[in-house]
A and B are shown apart, each in its own frame.
Chain A
Amino acid sequence: MAEVERSVSDVARTTAVARARAQLSPRERIGRLLENEAVFGYLMVAPAILYILILVGYPFAIALWFTVSDATVSQPIGPFTGLTNLKFVLDDEVFKRALANTFVFTISSQLIQMVFGTMLAFLLLRHFRGRRLIRAIVMLPFTVPVAVGAIAWQWMLNPTYSVVNWVGAQLGFFPMLGGPNWLGEEQYAMISIIVVNVWRNLPFTAIVLTAGISSIPQEILEAASLDGAGWLTRWRKIMAPIIAPIIYIALLFSLVFTFTDMTVVWLLTKGSPVNSTHVIASYAFVTGVISGGLGRGAAMSLFLFPVLLVGALMLLRNLKARTLD
């Protein structure tokens, strides 16, 4: 009996809803639909998703296809060649060198940045007159466009007119006009590239650390020093663990950007002398864009992907953890 009543009221209800809907003009009906949270939500993210799918997702798929095909600039839809490109790339001595360089540049600049970045962060945390100005100056390398910074360094390291060598000579490091050819000799060129990378990214590391450290509640540090914790203990046991997640993110980004960047190398050496300073990105550029070997170039770029993937996964974990609280 009760069930019968219920189904009767259900019918009445459905007809009422149907009638209410039927009275709407098409325009009103679209309006109603847009008030639905999910419909509205998907509609609003659609442009972003489409843009990314078309200009990041789709090219990425093509890059994968290039890797397994003999695509060239003149014949972009080349025949399927399987792993030939990958094999070629792995046999290429210059590429192996570029792969090693990429790691050397990324890791050594990262380490140097962490050490000096921490020092700089603590210096910037101190209150002193003109702090804002000093901060702005110290941040300059990060705020100046990368390409502009790199070209300025190229001029500073110019084989003939190197101001670095002039200053070095004045300080007695090198004989006058006899300093190293910074960008022309392999060892020096690699050092130069690392220095410019550090120059560029040190401010970022420092500012992230400053922000992290200053976000630590002062009371915690005071409580710790009342408890008798020395400076090193406070850093190791309190500050470092609190800012660890921030450092982690900063490190991740800095790593990924340094790892995949070709601007510094390209503007300083273009891979010279004799292809000894290439990184993956710059060599892929030479192979794919300048020589037109799309397949091989793409296969090289693909070596960036595992690192990116790990970075993305680590970041994902961090982001998920944070969106949950």
Chain B
Amino acid sequence: MATVRLEHIYKKFGDVIAVNDLSLEIRDEEFLVLVGPSGCGKTTALRMVAGLEEQTSGDIFIGDRLVNDVPPKDRDIAMVFQNYALYPHMDVTDNLSFGLKLWHVVRDEIKRRIEDAARMLGIDRLLQRKPRELSGGQRQRVALGRAIVREPKVFLMDEPLSNLDAKLRVQTRADLLKLHQRVKTTTIYVTHDQVEAMTMGDRIAVMRDGLLQQLDTPEGLYASPANLFVAGFIGSPPMNFFRGTVRQVDGQTMVDTGSVRVPLPPRVAGGAARAALGREVVYGIRPEDIEAQNGTGGWPVRANIEVVEYLGNEVQVHANVQGVTFVARLSPRAGARVGEDLPLSLHTERAHVFDAKTEDAISG
């Protein structure tokens, strides 16, 4: 068990900066998710922690130990790869015991650990099989088992679920969480899937173009995204954005898109809003913060419904208010019909405002 600390990590591949001044501390027993679109540097960061890639500059600590010069084999970490990377010439038992033998773990201990892990993962009947005789899900479990038996200081996981089909992925996600609650090993988990990140992470580090965008709990990321990118990345369907200018209208600070005016959320409406007067901003509101009007408050608009996607428990509608289009998640009973007008109310108190130039969130 250990903390992992990255301090001012840079990684260049030729002229490309893959990771740009990344500082990050992963707490003991924490499950930290590194998330971002492909090419954002998340996998490179993980591989540097593993020692498979050497940082151009900066320091990495595992526990209190500076590991910059330490080869992967001496870092006391275990890694789960996207394609599982099982040793094809060894059966499951040998795959699991390979690392332990190299670490000179005594034979009885190896046997005990393999039995424990196999039981925990439900692979005890596959121990004599070769990887090619296993299904994708089984291989994934063996790959996890190979990490678990090592009882390392840190687990590193590089998109371990992305080769599984959708149903198995959801199930394995839950299993992984249960596993982490049991073994409590510090884990760094890389994924491009924000749903995976939100459901699994104790904290989430969002990366883009090699830069850390925000490090926060799932709730924190959702409630107060630090910038436009994070706001758009977290949440599905994504947050609606419109460009507008901050204006004083009838004594109220509003964002004016030209055809539509919406009030600023109260937490922004104070000093920050006054400072933003006349500036161009991006106004963001999540589809779930828009409802059919039912007299419970919110900012009323009349929207023309352009597309209705029926999902059973909800409908997602593409609505148009005087040329401004957005997506809303409504109750199936809201009565949205394509081509018809529908009164909607926007919960502007939960809206977000971003500076159009810097893309950073404006807050009070």
B66 touches A32 (CB 8 A): no
A38 CB to nearest B CB, Å: 10
User: Is B266 close to A, CB under 8 A?
Assistant: no
B68 touches A17 (CB 8 A): yes
B237 CB to nearest A CB, Å: 38
CB interface residues, A 19-75, toward B, < 8 Å: 20-21, 31-32, 35, 37
Interface residues on A, range: under 10
User: Is A131 close to B, CB under 8 A?
Assistant: no
A13 to B7, CA, bound (A): 11
User: Is A16 close to B, CB under 8 A?
Assistant: yes
A20 touches B71 (CB 8 A): no
Residue of B nearest to A16 (CB): B66
Question: Inter-chain contact count A-B, CB under 8 Å?
Answer: 19
Residue of B nearest to A31 (CB): B71
B59 touches A32 (CB 8 A): no
17 additional A-B pairs beyond A31-B71, A32-B70, beta carbons within 8 Å, are A13-B59, A13-B66, A16-B59, A16-B66, A17-B66, A17-B68, A17-B69, A20-B65, A20-B66, A20-B68, A20-B69, A20-B70, A21-B69, A32-B69, A32-B71, A35-B71, A37-B54
Residue of A nearest to B73 (CB): A35
Most chain A CB inside 10 Å of its own CB: which residue of B54, B66, B69, B71: B69
- Which residues of chain A are near B65, meaning CB under 8 Å? 20
- Which residues of chain B are near A32, meaning CB under 8 Å? 69-71
- Which residues of chain A are near B66, meaning CB under 8 Å? 13, 16-17, 20
- In the complex, the 3 A-B pairs of residues with the closest C-beta atoms, listed nearest first: A35-B71, A16-B66, A20-B66
Selected A-B contacts with CB under 8 Å, 14 pairs: A13-B59, A13-B66, A17-B66, A17-B69, A20-B65, A20-B66, A20-B69, A20-B70, A21-B69, A31-B71, A32-B69, A32-B70, A32-B71, A35-B71
CB interface residues, B 49-68, toward A, < 8 Å: 54, 59, 65-66, 68
- Which residues of chain B are near A35, meaning CB under 8 Å? 71
Residue of B nearest to A36 (CB): B54
CB interface residues, B 124-149, toward A, < 8 Å: none
Q: Mark B68-93, 1 if CB is under 8 A from A, else 0.
A: 11110000000000000000000000
